């Protein structure tokens, strides 16, 4: 006991003898951190802490710097020291939880969030981070409760509102989900959802009739989003609207004859005059789409007949059955590590009696080596494929298309082709939970991971279903 008291007295005497030096170093560290000079900030915090080892906030901010530098275990140790000095330090508990969660220490992270909340029941960020963790653990009801608590603490917390919407939609609660999904426009973590469009014409979210009005529908996210929600064009045309559809240039030819669309415009081109506008992912809200009322036609896209005939002639000498494969998506997508697979990991599970075709638009270097190998059973057609209209025509020729969760899965499903989709253990909300089918696409079958990052069991199930489907060994 005496030695501890002596240390505390010694710390106090050091601080009292050098107060201006400590304050100067601390302030410089804060400034360096704000300038993102993290190494310099860490050095300054270390010097400041030597002068005042009992300053909890210095340890806390040092932990934040270590987190930014990717030194996660050291960051946890720094937060631990801040908590040791100030046991009710809610922010330190919360930030420690974030790092523990990123390291896969889920039970430890949950404990940290609970302690943060216990010490500060008004901390919206702690509730939010806990909700993200609970959602990642598929504890959906608890996650929603924690999102609600975050929003109660801060009703303008856009990220909490948006992620609550994702949780609701993934559970099929479209009634509450679509309205909350509008918070995506204010979310700081929009994850590639696109930019807010500043039109002088009013936004239409279902108020009033569209009869006789010119409505611009515009994409906001990835190609898959556009392919999934362009189906609403025919519904609006059926209500008397004149529908213009603005899409990425790569989709213009494919969607040129989409039912209900008067004109398809490439993003960046001049827009025709219009009266109202609506983002594609707001259409389910505007059209009051219920879970039971999803506009799920067997198909709403069609490959160009001439291209389909050309592909069939070109492939006629190939053995049957024909199965198209897609194994990776856009590497810049924030969820790519979860959804994309290495072709080398998959190819050995594919029954050899089937003829496979690459539908993949862009092939990564390691995957190209697999395709080029003499033992490959995948026909890699020339790069004239690099066009969605061409790929759509090729999909029309396939007996089955098997794809990871990317735009080509949406393309095949919208064409009404039998489409088997490989999903991670935490897929996008549109695939819902715990089901093998999709209310959006009648021709789809879903293959979900049973544990995060583990694809082998998915490969084996697909291989077994292929053997059964085509009666091969």
405 and 322 housed in the same domain: yes
What is the rounded average pLDDT of the residues 369-377?
Answer: 84
In a domain, 228, yes or no: yes
Within a domain: 186: no
- What percent of the residues of the chain are helix, what percent strand, and what percent coil, each to the nearest 5? 50, 10, 40
Residue 185 lies in a domain: no
Per the structure, the count of domains in the chain is 3
Q: Which residues contact 32 (CB under 8 A, 6 or more apart)?
A: 38, 40, 41, 44
What is the reported pLDDT for 329?
Answer: 87
pLDDT, mean of residues 36-42: 95
Residue 181 falls within a domain, yes or no?
Answer: no
Q: Which one of 273, 295, 317 terminates a domain? A: 295
325 and 241 inside one domain:
no
Answer yes or no: do 287 and 318 share one domain.
no
Q: What is the pLDDT of residue 5?
A: 37
Give the ranges where 251-364 is alpha helix by DSSP (H).
252-255, 283-286, 305-315, 336-339, 343-347
The confidence score (pLDDT) of residue 13 equals 44
Q: What is the CATH number of the domain that holds 289?
A: 3.40.50
Last residue of a domain, one of 268, 295, 322: 295
Domain that holds residue 271: 191-295
Q: Which of 277, 295, 313 is the last residue of a domain?
A: 295
Q: pLDDT (tens digit, 9 = 90+) per residue, 222-235?
A: 899 999 999 999 99
CATH of the domain at 324: 3.40.50.2000
Q: Does 271 reside within a domain?
A: yes
> What digits encode the pLDDT tens for the residues 2-25?
444 344 434 444 444 467 889 999
Q: Would you say 136 and 106 are in contact if contact means Cβ atoms under 8 Å apart?
A: yes
- Residue 409 falls within a domain, yes or no? yes
Which CATH number is 123's domain given?
Answer: 1.25.40.10
Angle at 283 between CA 436 and CA 219, to 5 degrees: 90
pLDDT tens profile 159-206: 999 999 999 999 999 999 999 999 999 876 555 556 788 899 999 999
398 domain-assigned: yes
Between 90-102 and 106-119, two packed helices, what is the crossing angle to 10 degrees?
160
């Amino acid at each position: 006991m005496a030695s501890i008291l002596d240390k505390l007295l010694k710390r106090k005497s050091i601080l009292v003898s050098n107060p201006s030096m400590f304050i100067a170093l601390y302030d410089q560290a804060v400034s360096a951190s704000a300038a993102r000079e993290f190494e310099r900030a860490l050095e300054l915090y270390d010097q400041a802490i030597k002068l005042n080892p009992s300053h909890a906030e210095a340890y806390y901010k040092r932990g934040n710097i270590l987190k930014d530098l990717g030194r996660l275990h050291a960051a946890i140790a720094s937060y631990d020291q801040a908590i040791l000095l100030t046991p009710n330090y809610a922010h330190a508990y919360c930030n420690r939880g974030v790092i523990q969660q990123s390291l896969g220490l889920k039970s430890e992270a949950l404990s940290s969030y609970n302690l943060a909340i216990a010490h500060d029941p008004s901390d919206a960020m702690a509730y939010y981070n806990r909700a993200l963790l609970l959602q990642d653990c598929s504890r959906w009801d608890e996650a929603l409760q924690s999102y609600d608590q975050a929003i109660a603490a801060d009703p303008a917390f856009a990220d909490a509102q948006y992620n609550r919407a994702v949780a609701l939609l993934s559970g099929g609660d479209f009634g509450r989900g679509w309205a909350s999904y509008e918070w995506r426009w204010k979310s700081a973590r929009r994850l590639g959802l696109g930019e807010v469009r500043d039109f002088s014409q009013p936004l239409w979210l279902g108020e009033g009739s569209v009869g006789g009005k010119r409505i611009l529908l515009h994409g906001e996210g990835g190609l898959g989003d556009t392919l999934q929600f362009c189906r609403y064009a025919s519904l609006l045309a059926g209500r008397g609207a004149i529908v213009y559809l603005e899409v990425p240039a790569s989709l213009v030819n494919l969607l040129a004859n989409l039912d209900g669309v008067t004109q398809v415009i490439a993003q960046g081109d001049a827009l025709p005059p219009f009266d109202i506008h609506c983002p594609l992912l707001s259409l389910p809200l505007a059209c009051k789409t219920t879970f039971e009322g999803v506009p799920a036609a067997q198909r709403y896209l069609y490959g160009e007949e001439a291209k389909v005939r050309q592909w069939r002639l070109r492939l006629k000498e190939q053995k049957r059955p024909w199965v198209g494969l897609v194994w990776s998506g856009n590497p810049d997508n924030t969820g790519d590590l979860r959804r994309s697979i290495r072709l080398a990991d998959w190819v050995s599970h594919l029954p050899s009696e089937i003829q496979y075709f690459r539908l993949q638009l862009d092939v990564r270097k390691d995957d190209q080596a697999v395709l080029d190998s003499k033992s490959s059973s995948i026909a890699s057609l020339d790069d004239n494929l690099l066009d969605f209209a061409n790929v759509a025509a090729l999909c029309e020729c396939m007996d089955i298309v098997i794809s990871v969760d990317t735009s080509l899965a949406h393309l095949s499903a919208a064409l009404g082709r039998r489409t088997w989709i490989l999903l991670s253990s935490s897929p996008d909300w549109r695939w819902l939970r715990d089901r093998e089918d999709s209310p959006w696409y009648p021709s789809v079958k879903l293959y979900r991971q049973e544990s995060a990052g583990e694809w082998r069991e998915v490969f084996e199930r697909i291989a077994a279903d292929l053997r059964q489907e085509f009666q091969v060994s």
